[in-house]
Amino acid sequence: MTYTFAEAKRKLAGHISAYGLADLSGAVNEALDELSQTKSWQRMRKVIRFTVAGERFALPQDCGRLIRCAIDGVPVSVHGQDYEFLHSGPGDLDYAGEGYAPLSGVVRAGIFPTMNAMAVPGRLAAFSATPPEDPLTVTVRNAVGEISTVQVAVNDGAASVGATATAYEYTEVLSVTLPPRCEAYVTLYGISDDGLEYLSRMHPRVLIPEFVRYRLPGFSTTADASYRMLAEVGIKFLPLVADEDPVPFSSLRPVQYMLQSMAAMDTGEIKEADDFRSRAEMELVRREDTENERQGLTVLNPLYEGSAGQSAAYWEGA
What's the whole-number average pLDDT of the chain? 87
Q: Give the mean pLDDT of 158-172.
A: 90
Mark out the alpha helices in the chain (DSSP H runs): 5-18, 24-36, 253-266, 270-291, 312-315
The one-character DSSP state at 102 is G
In which band, very low, low, confident or very high, does the pLDDT at 14 lie, cut at 50, 70 and 90? confident
pLDDT by residue (tens digit) across 255-294?
A: 999 999 988 998 899 999 999 999 999 999 988 888 776 6
Asked whether 221 and 102 are in contact (CB, 8 A), the reply is: no
pTM, to two decimals: 0.82
23 Cβ partners below 8 Å, 6+ apart?
none
- In terms of phi and psi (left: phi > 0; alpha: psi -120 to 50; beta: otherwise), the region of 314 is alpha
pLDDT by residue (tens digit) across 24-41?
A: 888 999 999 999 988 888
